[in-house]
């Protein structure tokens, strides 16, 4: 069964995603990061959901999704509210951090 597990600030991928998440954790309190859990070890579980505050029951417009390669590698596929233009693919962790920062800032104003 597919699901998600809480990804603590001390959890690390070993790749550039760590710097992105560390930058966001330092700015947004509380930032909740959840990682996709797949039933089989060979399945791709490199999907993360970011939310300000308590984790949502369902991942929706209040969350931002980050897809990456194994080990937190690039490219990053960032997706939030597509109607607000929140969709980016980038190899640059600084670009990913800036986009996610802006998107989460928008959400923190709404909460």
pLDDT of residue 41: 61
Written as six digits, the tokens of 83 are: 């109607």
The residues spanned by each domain of the chain are 3-110
Give the list of residues 6+ apart from residue 11 with CB closer than 8 angstroms, or none: 35
Give the list of residues 6+ apart from residue 57 with CB closer than 8 angstroms, or none: none
pLDDT of residue 1: 44
Residue among 48, 58, 60 nearest 107 (CA): 60
pTM (2 d.p.): 0.88
Give the list of residues 6+ apart from residue 89 with CB closer than 8 angstroms, or none: 75, 76, 77, 78
Question: Rounded to 5 degrees, what angle do the CA atoms 73, 59, 46 make?
Answer: 20
CB-count burial class (<10 Å; 0-12, 13-18, 19+) for 80: buried
Task: Kindly state the DSSP code that residue 14 receives in the 8-state scheme.
Answer: S
pLDDT of residue 3: 82
Q: Kindly give the parts of the chain with pLDDT less than 50.
A: 1
């Amino acid at each position: 069964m597919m699901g998600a597990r809480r990804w603590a600030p001390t959890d690390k991928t070993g790749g550039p995603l760590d710097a992105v998440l560390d930058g966001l954790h330092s700015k947004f309190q509380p930032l909740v990061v959840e990682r996709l859990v797949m039933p089989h070890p060979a399945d791709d579980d490199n999907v993360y959901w970011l939310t300000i505050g308590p984790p949502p029951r369902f991942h929706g417009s209040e969350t931002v999704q980050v897809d990456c390669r194994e080990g937190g590698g690039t490219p990053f596929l960032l997706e939030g509210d597509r109607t607000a233009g929140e969709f980016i693919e980038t190899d640059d962790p600084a670009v990913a951090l800036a986009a996610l920062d802006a998107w989460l800032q928008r959400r923190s104003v709404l909460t």
